[in-house]
């Protein structure tokens, strides 16, 4: 694994046990000349109160994948307390391994809480751009005001990712990415994928990630804020399958995701399994649990027989008996227990679940029949019920669900079933719209038409792209729906189109 060796060497170098030049000489005899080895710039991610992962990936250019060297390459890294990189706090050498596409992940530890840091990498005579990152507040300092942003779903062909530029003055501690960082199949759009084909091999997934990393606004976001990212269906295509070809494709998807993401998650080379779930603690103010909603779910390719495949592209289905089976789970039982434990053991003032897909029950109608979106939590009512029971029985403080996937802004009170009064709701949910992916009218209309029968929903906007800005204090949780005027060309302007507030101790959001 990259991490262990990196940490060991950087630790030794930082401690002065082994001098850096010695490591550099041992690692690589060749120098990288004739090209800038940092075409993907830099990024950071998975911050804690005393650590953050810094990332880069060595390459000949954004679309040239001939290995940069025959063997591992030593990349020097430096982390400083100022943007001019004068006050150097930590430095070391990390190995860019050919097996991991010459990506570099360094888990820089021993940092101070709630601080900005600047960092860059050097190989031979070349230096990367300087990135800025930030640690999380410590327990004792967390109570004043904490802000982070939530994004999802960035289809390259649907639009430019300039909503990220709307975060420029937010002073957000991190960006929570709830999945669909890349998309597979393309049909063309305001710009085209490098191939019409959905990626299947490691080389193809690398090419797709490389393309996405060239979006200018996404690059600026990575250079200035840490990301906490989780995978959804489009990142790794079909998850719940035993087909060997699909498993190879999933392994390639996981590995490429890791190689291109500033993440602490570890992947084994070409493994179809990956540990994705994790939690983020912001002192005693906020606990954010991020479960893996794809790898362990029971199949959502169900209830096909009784459903109209032409309605809403076959995305919404008529629920069949199977849906209510008690053992049916979105997370798998071990992970359900993990999530319940994270929620019930929390002493945090606010407790959020970062779910790739919507938790709120939502009933739609097609030709007089009940239809639901079974790939979200509506396809796993027993699993959802167990989690809501745990929240209610455990008196989990201020439970909030943050999700994405439906490329729409939505605010709701999570009831157990449609028809329950909003007063019976167990948690508040904010669904964030997409960075660029569209929610076409055949998908939006059935939802819009169903609003009068889903009284627990307070807001629904499938038309606008953007992100959510969450500001958390002891007393209030505020979510701003930040939306962009256009994504068909670079330069879209982002404004706040709606704001919602949850008072501590209450379930449900009020529009402000
Ligand atoms: Fe999506």
φ, ψ for residue 334, nearest 5 deg: -60, -40
Task: Report how far apart, in Å, the C-alpha atoms of 133 and of each of 44, 164, 222, 225 are.
Answer: 6, 16, 9, 5
Query: What does R_g of the chain's alpha carbons equal in angstroms?
Result: 23
CA 476 to centroid of ligand 1, rounded, Å: 29
Per residue in 203-226, pLDDT (tens digit) is 999 999 999 999 999 999 999 999
The H or E element spanning position 338 is: helix 333-344
CA 334 to centroid of ligand 1, rounded, Å: 26
- pTM confidence score: 0.94
190 pLDDT more than 70: yes
Between CA 257 and CA 508 the distance in angstroms is: 35
CA 449 to centroid of ligand 1, rounded, Å: 22
Confidence band of 239 (pLDDT split at 50, 70, 90)? low
- Mean pLDDT for 368-379 is 97
Q: Give pLDDT, residue 186.
A: 85
CA 160 to centroid of ligand 1, rounded, Å: 15
CA 119 to centroid of ligand 1, rounded, Å: 32
Q: Give pLDDT, residue 20.
A: 46
Please count the other Cβ atoms lying within 10 Å of the Cβ belonging to residue 465: 30
| Residue 341: both structure tokens together | 């434990």
CA 434 to centroid of ligand 1, rounded, Å: 7
254 contacts 202 by C-beta, under 8 angstroms? no
User: Over the chain, what is the mean pLDDT?
Assistant: 92
CA 437 to centroid of ligand 1, rounded, Å: 6
Q: Give pLDDT, residue 30.
A: 52
Per residue in 402-413, pLDDT (tens digit) is 999 999 999 999
142 pLDDT more than 60: no
| Residue 213: both structure tokens together | 């990393």
Q: Which of 65-69, 235-239, 256-260, 499-503 has the lowest mean pLDDT?
A: 235-239
Q: Give pLDDT, residue 143.
A: 61
| Residue 278: both structure tokens together | 């994790």
Between CA 477 and CA 488 the distance in angstroms is: 32
CA 180 to centroid of ligand 1, rounded, Å: 5
Per residue in 37-67, pLDDT (tens digit) is 999 999 999 999 999 999 999 999 998 889 9
Q: Does domain 2-135 have CATH number 2.60.40.380?
A: yes
Across 9-51, where does the E strand assignment appear? 42-45
Confidence band of 141 (pLDDT split at 50, 70, 90)? low
CA 356 to centroid of ligand 1, rounded, Å: 9
CA 148 to centroid of ligand 1, rounded, Å: 20
CA 211 to centroid of ligand 1, rounded, Å: 17
CA 305 to centroid of ligand 1, rounded, Å: 25
Residue 26 makes CB contacts below 8 A (sequence gap 6+) with 74
Please count the other Cβ atoms lying within 10 Å of the Cβ belonging to residue 183: 23
Confidence band of 88 (pLDDT split at 50, 70, 90)? very high
Per residue in 324-341, pLDDT (tens digit) is 999 999 999 999 999 999
CA 451 to centroid of ligand 1, rounded, Å: 22
User: 């929570």: which residue's tokens?
Assistant: 176
288 contacts 176 by C-beta, under 8 angstroms? yes
Q: Give pLDDT, residue 323.
A: 97
**Burial of 110 from C-beta contacts in 10 A (0-12 / 13-18 / 19+):** exposed
> b/e map of 140-158 (b: 16 or more CB within 10 Å)?
eebbeebbbbbbbbbbbbb
423 pLDDT more than 90: no
CA 93 to centroid of ligand 1, rounded, Å: 37
% of the chain residues with pLDDT over 70: 93
For residue 73, the cross-strand partners are 96
CA 76 to centroid of ligand 1, rounded, Å: 37
| Residue 383: both structure tokens together | 């699993």
14 pLDDT more than 50: no
CA 407 to centroid of ligand 1, rounded, Å: 6
| Residue 178: both structure tokens together | 């709830």
Q: Give pLDDT, residue 15.
A: 39
Q: Give pLDDT, residue 32.
A: 81
Please count the other Cβ atoms lying within 10 Å of the Cβ belonging to residue 203: 13
| Residue 295: both structure tokens together | 């790898």
Q: Give pLDDT, residue 348.
A: 95
CA 136 to centroid of ligand 1, rounded, Å: 28
Domain ranges across the chain: 2-135, 162-168+178-212+224-265+277-511
∠ CA 272-38-221, nearest 5°, is 75
Between CA 2 and CA 266 the distance in angstroms is: 8
CA 250 to centroid of ligand 1, rounded, Å: 17
CATH of domain 162-168+178-212+224-265+277-511: 3.60.21.70
Distance in Å from the first CA to the final CA of the chain = 48
CA 176 to centroid of ligand 1, rounded, Å: 15
180 pLDDT more than 70: yes
């Amino acid at each position: 694994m990259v991490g262990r060796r990196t940490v060991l060497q950087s630790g030794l170098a930082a401690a002065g046990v082994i001098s850096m030049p010695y490591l550099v000489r041992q690692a690589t005899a060749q120098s990288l000349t004739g090209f800038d080895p940092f075409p993907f710039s830099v990024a950071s991610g998975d911050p804690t109160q005393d650590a953050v992962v810094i990332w880069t990936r060595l390459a000949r250019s954004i679309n040239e994948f001939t290995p940069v060297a025959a063997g591992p390459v030593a990349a020097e890294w430096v982390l400083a307390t100022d943007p001019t990189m004068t006050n150097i706090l930590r430095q070391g050498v990390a190995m860019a391994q050919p097996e991991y596409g010459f990506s570099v992940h360094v888990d820089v530890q021993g940092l101070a809480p709630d601080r900005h840091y600047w960092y860059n990498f050097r190989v031979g005579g070349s230096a990367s751009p300087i990135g800025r990152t930030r640690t999380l507040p410590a327990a004792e300092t967390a109570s004043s005001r904490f802000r982070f942003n939530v994004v999802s779903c960035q289809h390259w062909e649907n639009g430019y990712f300039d909503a990220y530029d709307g975060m420029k003055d937010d002073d957000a501690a991190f960006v929570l990415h709830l999945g669909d960082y890349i998309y597979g199949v393309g049909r063309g759009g305001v710009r085209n994928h490098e191939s019409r084909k959905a990626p299947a091999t490691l080389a193809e997934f690398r090419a797709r990630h490389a393309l996405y990393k060239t979006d200018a606004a996404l690059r600026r976001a990575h250079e200035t804020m840490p990301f906490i990212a989780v995978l959804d269906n489009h990142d790794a295509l079909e998850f719940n399958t035993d087909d060997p070809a699909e498993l190879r494709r999933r392994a390639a998807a996981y590995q490429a995701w890791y190689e291109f993401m500033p993440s602490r998650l570890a992947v084994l080379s070409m493994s179809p399994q990956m540990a994705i779930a994790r939690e983020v603690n912001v002192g005693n103010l906020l606990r954010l649990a991020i479960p893996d909603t794809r790898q362990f779910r029971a199949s959502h390719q169900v209830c096909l027989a009784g459903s109209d495949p032409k309605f809403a592209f076959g995305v919404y289905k008529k629920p069949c008996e199977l849906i209510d089976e008690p053992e049916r789970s979105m997370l798998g039982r071990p992970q359900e227990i993990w999530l319940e434990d994270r929620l019930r053991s929390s002493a945090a003032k606010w407790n959020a679940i970062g779910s790739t897909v919507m938790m709120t029950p939502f009933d739609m109608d097609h030709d007089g029949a009940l239809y639901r979106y079974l790939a979200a939590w509506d396809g796993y009512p027993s699993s959802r019920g167990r989690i809501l029971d745990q929240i209610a029985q455990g008196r989990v403080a201020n439970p909030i669900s943050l999700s994405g996937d439906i490329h729409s802004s939505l605010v709701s009170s999570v009831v157990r079933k449609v028809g329950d009064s909003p007063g019976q709701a167990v948690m508040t949910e904010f669904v964030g719209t997409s960075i660029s992916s569209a929610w076409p009218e055949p998908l939006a209309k059935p939802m819009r038409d169903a609003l009068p029968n889903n009284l627990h929903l307070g807001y629904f906007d499938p038309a606008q792209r953007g992100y959510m800005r969450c500001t958390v204090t002891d007393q209030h949780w505020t979510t701003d729906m930040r939306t962009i005027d256009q994504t068909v060309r670079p330069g879209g302007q982002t404004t706040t189109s709606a704001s919602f507030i949850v008072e501590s101790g209450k379930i449900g959001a009020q529009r402000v």
